[in-house]
Structure 1
Amino acid sequence: MDMRRIIAVLAEEAEQQIQDQVWELAPSERDLALETEAGLRDAVGSPDVQEALPEITRLEHLRETLAVLAISLARTHGHLAWFLSGALNALEPVLRWRALPANRGGTFGTVLPGPEDYTEAEDAVRHLQDVLAHIGRIKY
């Protein structure tokens, strides 16, 4: 399953839990969701902006999204933490990517992603941005 699909499944589950009132959002969760969304949006912009960047910069931006998610995860518990953990897990392949060629020696198991890999990851992050913005706007 690709990153976009995993994020879509997470979004569907979150929506269902919120709708069924299994996940009752606290104000602090809504605030953190909006803060996380803003951090992700700062890291990964629109497709036309991202695709014009060198691959090394695109990778830096994707790694920054992992940092934003990890910091947010460290600041919460329960349903939002589980959701953020799932998002981090979905984007985990980014951790094995490298943008530089291996001139000599090993690469510690890293791989060179293709342009479509960057696009997939960035699309997944944008979907995640939208989901977090939606979570942050939910009022009871």
Structure 2
Amino acid sequence: MGMFEAVARVVHEAELQLGDGVWELRPADSDLVRQTAAALTDAVGPAEAHEALPRIERLAALREALAAVAVTVARTHGPLAWFLADASSHLAPVLHWRALDAPDNRTFGAVLPAGDELADAEAAVRHLAAMLTRTGHSA
């Protein structure tokens, strides 16, 4: 299962919980949701523009997105933290990716992502950002 599919499952579960009233977004979390959505959108732009960037910039943007999610998880508790922690766990492989060649192969286990892996991770971030944007505006 790719990152997009995994994040889409988590997003779907969150949308069901929000829709069923199982999870009610606290007022204090609404601002965090909007801030996180904006940070994700700023980090990983539209596919057409983003996929034209060099691999090193695409990877940096994905790491920035993951950092934004981690900061939000650190600032909240309960369902929002659980949701974002689950989503971030599916995005965590980007932390083991590298953008540079390593002729001596001393990379601490970091690997070069395939082109489709970058695109998949970027699509997952966009999907998460879209859900947070919808949720933040409806709160």
Q: TM-score, normalised by structure 1?
A: 0.95
**2:15 matched residue in structure 1:** 15
Per-residue deviation, 1:105: 4.3
Provide the C-alpha distance between the structure 1 equivalents of 2:7 and 2:29, rounded to a whole number of angstroms: 19
**2:116 matched residue in structure 1:** 116
**1:70 matched residue in structure 2:** 70
CA shift in 2, pair 1:105/1:15, >3 Å: closer
> What SS does the aligned partner of 1:53 have?
coil
> What SS does the aligned partner of 2:35 have?
helix
Retained in 2: the 8 A contact 1:73–1:84?
Answer: yes
Could you tell me which amino acid in structure 1 is paired with residue 18 of structure 2? I
CA shift in 2, pair 1:111/1:105, >3 Å: closer
CA RMSD of aligned residues (A): 1.0
Could you tell me which amino acid in structure 2 is paired with residue 68 of structure 1? A
What per-residue deviation string (whole Å, max 9, x for no partner) do you get for residues 73-106 of structure 1?
Answer: 1000000000110111010110110011112142
Retained in 2: the 8 A contact 1:4–1:120?
Answer: yes
Retained in 2: the 8 A contact 1:30–1:138?
Answer: no
Per-residue deviation, 1:138: 2.1
Could you tell me which amino acid in structure 2 is paired with residue 38 of structure 1? A
Sequence identity (%): 50
Per-residue deviation, 1:111: 0.5
**2:52 matched residue in structure 1:** 52
Detail structure 1 runs of 4+ shifted over 2 Å in the superposition. Answer: none
Q: Which runs of 5+ in 1 are unaligned?
A: none
Could you tell me which amino acid in structure 1 is paired with residue 49 of structure 2? V
Could you tell me which amino acid in structure 2 is paired with residue 20 of structure 1? D
Q: How many residues align?
A: 139
- Alignment of structure 1 residues 1-140 onto 2, 5 Å: 1-139=1-139
Provide the C-alpha distance between the structure 2 equivalents of 1:102 and 1:91, rounded to a whole number of angstroms: 23
Provide the C-alpha distance between the structure 2 equivalents of 1:19 and 1:61, rounded to a whole number of angstroms: 31
